[in-house]
Structure 1
Amino acid sequence: MSSTELPSAPAASVTPRVGAVRVAEGERLRSAGLPGITLTIRSRPPAREGLPPALYVHGLGGSSQNWSALMARLDGLVDSEALDLPGFGDSPPPDDGDYSVTGHARAVIRHLDASGRGPVHLFGNSLGGAVATRVAAVRPDLVRTLTLVSPALPEIRAQRTAWPTALLALPGVAGLFTRITREWSAEQRVRGVLALCYGDPGIVTPEGFRDAVEEMERRLALPYFWDAMARSARGVVNAYTLGGQHGLWRQAERVLAPTLLVYGGRDQLVGYRMAQRAARAFRDSRLLSLPEAGHVAMMEYPETVATAFRELLADLGELTSPMAVGAES
């Protein structure tokens, strides 16, 4: 895949967004209309002028809300935006129905080209990590650093706990799962997600659990929810099978941006053993291993991840002020 396959886009139309989606204190939502897609963008007003821009990309089944805790801890360090990928969060499905890794990467690139915010500090988790890797490989001009939390890069032997997610990619499985789980409550579904994604689900506060249940109920009411999940899962599986220059590991080797890799020892979706391979693949990388974390370390240990990112910028000489070095939430 060459950069010509992920073209620039004309300027977006931007509309403030207010709705049922949860917005944390200090955050705001807006909609950005681009050719073929409409993206919901979550942002925090920058603490001061001149902060470098950052963009956060969530994983399969997630949303921009997954980054709220980390974004708050990076106030004063970067100017943060997190997007809802097409078909997730509060973004409607793409017009062309393309939920491939390349399709999602194209959405990220269109947003960055239209907003003129690049180069950014680019963050990605899980599926978003694969998307961010592809963006950094094909458009290095848009990425100043890359932070990947449990990126969905190909594994020869996936963990057994990851198989149900991969099975969603098979035709008809999403419909079958929908029928089987028709009687499941939103609370049951959220508990299942937390058990799969967190190293210790017990760290989720009662308020956080209630918010997750409310969001689950909202998403289940969307007519395209399972289609977006199934097609995006299929996109990840298809990306795993690509070889040559299209392969994600080959593209990881092409990334020029300094890269922070974050892996959790209790991750049930991305093997902890892949951390060392990733550290070798990305040419300018550092590795943060969190033995107690699961699949979403930026939600479980946001302060630790923020500190590692802060240290990356310090080593690169990119901290914008002395106070940012020791910033705490």
Structure 2
Amino acid sequence: MKIDPRAKVLPAVHRLSSAVAGTDRAQGEVTAVLAHATGFHGRVWEPTARRLPGVDCHALDLRGHGDTPVPEGYDFPWAAFGDDVLAVADDLAARGHGPLVGIGHSCGAAALVLAEAARPGTFDSLWLYEPAAFPPPAAGEVQSNPLVEPTKRRRPAFADRAEAARNYASKPPMDAFDPEVLAAYVEHGFVAEGDHVRLKCRPLNEAQVYVSSLVAEVYAAMAEVRCPVVLVQGVESPSGRFDRLAEQFPDARLESHPDLGHFGPLTHPERIAASIRSWLAERT
């Protein structure tokens, strides 16, 4: 059976902001859609959301991640991640939330770009930490993603969540994760299956996301994003990459944190929250 690559999916969404959880939206409160990196899920944003008073945070699980499933054999076109974001934005708008801001990391940041480019005006502004976006290859250049094969070999199951947490805390990159972030990842990233727990984001699915990244049109979509953008980077490699990405947006400024790596939102949620609060203050 051929799977529709843009099949409509209803993403799982988690309301994270503890200051407003279980209450109606406060007058004047900012509503944020938070999107995660490949292989993770929305609730890894919880430690950041707790540090964002006055922000009503809604974190989605992109298809194939967390609690949002996909059919077997799905090939994860990145444009469909943008569709997931738009589905969340539509639901929030229908319930009286708005204007919306977008907060994203890596693949999640790319999903926000694709959503806003597809439907300009969905977001009032975007905060993007190292969006996964690459310029088209030069003539004759063959692109590959070095994360594909290691991801296919990733261990998919553990005896229990405690074993998973010990394993991840003992080796990079997760040994550098904030303890609250790692705890959230493990608690909500596994499902019980017989006598063990299994990753909700299956390694072969995650690997396919990386394969699909090679033909994702995020770089081209940046030129269609008219809302203000804060493009946030950690330590840069190769030099100048994020300067070039910033130039793709009609209205963007670049913010640098050279002591943070690509996993900055997962290793330093307090620093990330401070950056987000500063960005939001600029909007008032």
Q: Same fold (TM over 0.5)?
A: yes
Q: Which of residues 82, 103, 108 in structure 2 aligns to 1:128? A: 108
8 Å contact 1:86–1:94 — kept in the other structure?
no
Alignment root-mean-square deviation, CA: 3.4
Counterpart of 1:31 in structure 2 is none
Q: What are the ranges of 5 or more consecutive residues in structure 2 without an aligned counterpart?
A: 138-143
1:311-322 matches, within 5 Å, as: 311-316=278-283, 318=284
In structure 1, the residue corresponding to 2:57 is in which secondary structure? strand
Aligned AA (2:56):
D
In structure 2, the residue corresponding to 1:190 is in which secondary structure? helix
Q: Which of residues 56, 71, 77 in structure 1 aligns to 2:49? A: 71
Q: Which of residues 242, 249, 260 in structure 1 aligns to 2:219? A: 249
Alignment deviations for residues 50-77 of structure 1 (CA, whole Å, 9 cap, x no partner): 313110111100111221122112121x
- Give the C-alpha shift of residue 233 in structure 1: 1.8
Q: Specify whether residues 55 and 203 from structure 1 end up closer, same or farther in structure 2 by C-alpha distance, changes over 3 A only.
A: closer
Q: After the TM superposition, which of the residue ranges 282-291 and 79-88 deviates more from structure 2?
A: 282-291
Counterpart of 2:168 in structure 1 is 190
Q: Specify whether residues 142 and 202 from structure 1 end up closer, same or farther in structure 2 by C-alpha distance, changes over 3 A only.
A: closer
Q: Specify whether residues 215 and 309 from structure 1 end up closer, same or farther in structure 2 by C-alpha distance, changes over 3 A only.
A: closer
Counterpart of 1:303 in structure 2 is 270
Q: Specify whether residues 276 and 222 from structure 1 end up closer, same or farther in structure 2 by C-alpha distance, changes over 3 A only.
A: closer
Q: What are the ranges of 5 or more consecutive residues in structure 1 without an aligned counterpart?
A: 7-34, 240-246, 319-329
In structure 1, the residue corresponding to 2:101 is in which secondary structure? strand
8 Å contact 1:54–1:123 — kept in the other structure?
yes
In structure 2, the residue corresponding to 1:79 is in which secondary structure? strand
1:80 aligns with 2:57: yes
In structure 2, the residue corresponding to 1:88 is in which secondary structure? coil
TM-score (norm 2): 0.75
Q: After the TM superposition, which of the residue ranges 182-191 and 41-50 deviates more from structure 2?
A: 182-191
Q: Which of residues 229, 236, 255 in structure 1 aligns to 2:213? A: 236
Counterpart of 2:147 in structure 1 is 165
TM-score (norm 1): 0.66
Aligned AA (2:210):
A
Q: Distance in 2 between matches of 1:226 and 1:49?
A: 42
Counterpart of 1:101 in structure 2 is 78
Q: After the TM superposition, which of the residue ranges 109-118 and 87-96 deviates more from structure 2?
A: 87-96
- Give the C-alpha shift of residue 120 in structure 1: 1.2
Q: What is the identity percentage for the equivalent residue pairs of Structure 1 and Structure 2?
A: 25
